[in-house]
Every structure is written in structure tokens, then in C-alpha cells.
Amino acid sequence: MRRVLITGSSRGLGFEFVRQLLENGDKIIACNRDPFRYSDLLELRDKFGEKLVLVDLDVSSKDSIDNAYFLISKEIDGLDILINNAGIRFGGDEKFNDELGRLYKEDFGKIFTVNSVAPLLIVEKFLPLIKTGKNPIIVNISSTSGSIGRRSRKGGGYSYSASKAALNMITKALSVDLKEEGITVASIHPGWVKTTMEYTENAPLTTYESIKGMRKVIDNLSIEETGKFFDWEGNELPW
């Protein structure tokens, strides 16, 4: 039974990760803000009992990360998989403000805090548990929007794309720092998935299909693949 921590677990990809991995027999630490107000998570807890632990975590708050670590370290003595899934696309109420002429530095700060800085701080805080995990793996949920090598046909999307490119660099740097510890670090693009997020109504993938694919990628990860960027089908992507 693997011990898996998932951020942003209340809906969309995060919730489907929780559901499928519980069905797989893993012990899940599901983290998000105020998790006890989500009926779907509570139903899973009723079904799976102590295999699902709900933890309040605001990834943008260092105090919240510290408190979550304190609670989780009481629950488990090692972490086998950390999935940094929590992320945001827009920093404010202006849904079309991520283009030239409509940029706001405040939005950049919020998006980078959640999408780039928070995953690194979570890894740093939880490293003692990760080091005692069995063949430990850190997965950062990224996006092809953050691939500089694939950016040739479309501009815009500055804050979100830059935040995911930064997350990819963090993945690469972590892989170097943690390789000698036997910790595998990878970025994974989940595909374009139909979720509750804006502008995914026409997405071709369901959360079930995306998570099923990413689970296969994660299951096949080893230290030889550390520091790489994959899509949900296991194809290696350019940085």
C-alpha cells in the first residue's frame, strides 16, 4: 500500500486522482482548502475509512503548509508519492487579462505563488517524509503551455505559461538535488481535460481518461526518468 499526498484534491484532476488511487488500494492524504465541505470527498472517506485522510491546506500559505506537515507526520512515517496538483489559471476576476495590453502584475504574483513557488515549498517541507518513502516519487502537474520548445504558433497566456515553465525548471533542479537520495522527480502534462475550470467545455479528455493515463506514467517512473517532462500518455515532451 503506497502512501500518496495529493494537493488540490477537492475536484477535477485532483479528486479523480484520489478516487482512482483509493480504488487501487493506496492510502491517500487529500489536501485542499476546507476539505470537509466537499461532499464527494466525505463520501469517499465514508467508503474507504482510514485509507483517506483529509487535510486542510492552502498551498499559498507557509503557515498552512507547516500545519499540514505537522498533522500528516502524525498520520504517516513516510511518503511514497507526492502529487503537486493544485494550480490556478487566472489570478483575478478578469478572465481575459493575460494578453498584451491587459496585463496586471498582481495576477502574475498570485499565479506564480500557487503554480510555481508552492510546489517547491511543499517538497521542501515534506522532504523528511519523502526520504523515508519506498522508491519515492514527486510529480508536478504541469502543462504543454509551459513548454518553450512547443511555443511557436500562439502567443499570449503569459502568466500561466510562464508559471508552468518555471515549474518545469523547478522539476529539473529538484531532480538534480534529489537524485542521490533516490527520489524521482517528473513533470506531467495531463492533456486538455474537461473539468470545472473555465474554457474546458470542448476538451477531448475526461478526468477518468487523463488520470488513468497519468497513473500508468507514474507507475513506470524510476530514477532513470528523473528530471523529465511527460504527457499523460507517457510521451516525453520538450522543455
Helix locations, 27-157, DSSP H: 39-48, 62-75, 105-112, 118-131
How does pLDDT run across 114-123, given as a tens digit for each residue?
999 999 999 9
Block residue for cell numbers 493506496: 26
Contact 186, 225 (CB under 8 A): yes
Q: What does pTM read for this prediction?
A: 0.94
Q: pLDDT band at residue 94, thresholds of 50, 70 and 90?
A: very low
Boundaries of domain holding 181: 3-231
The answer as to whether 239 is a domain residue is no
The answer as to whether 220 is a domain residue is yes
Q: At what angle do helices 12-23 and 207-219 cross, to 10 degrees?
A: 60
Q: Between 102 and 15, name the one with better pLDDT.
A: 15
The residues near 199 (Cβ < 8 Å, ≥ 6 apart) are none
Split into its structural domains, the chain has a count of 1
| Residue 8 backbone dihedrals phi, psi, to 5 degrees | 60, 50
What pLDDT score does 96 carry?
A: 47
Cα 104–chain centre separation = 25
Q: pLDDT band at residue 97, thresholds of 50, 70 and 90?
A: low
CATH number at residue 209: 3.40.50.720
Picking from 122, 120, 21, 135, the residue whose alpha carbon sits closest to that of residue 78 is 135
Q: How far is the C-alpha of 186 from the C-alpha of 83, rounded, in Å?
A: 10
Q: Is the pLDDT of residue 135 over 90?
A: yes
The answer as to whether 127 is a domain residue is yes
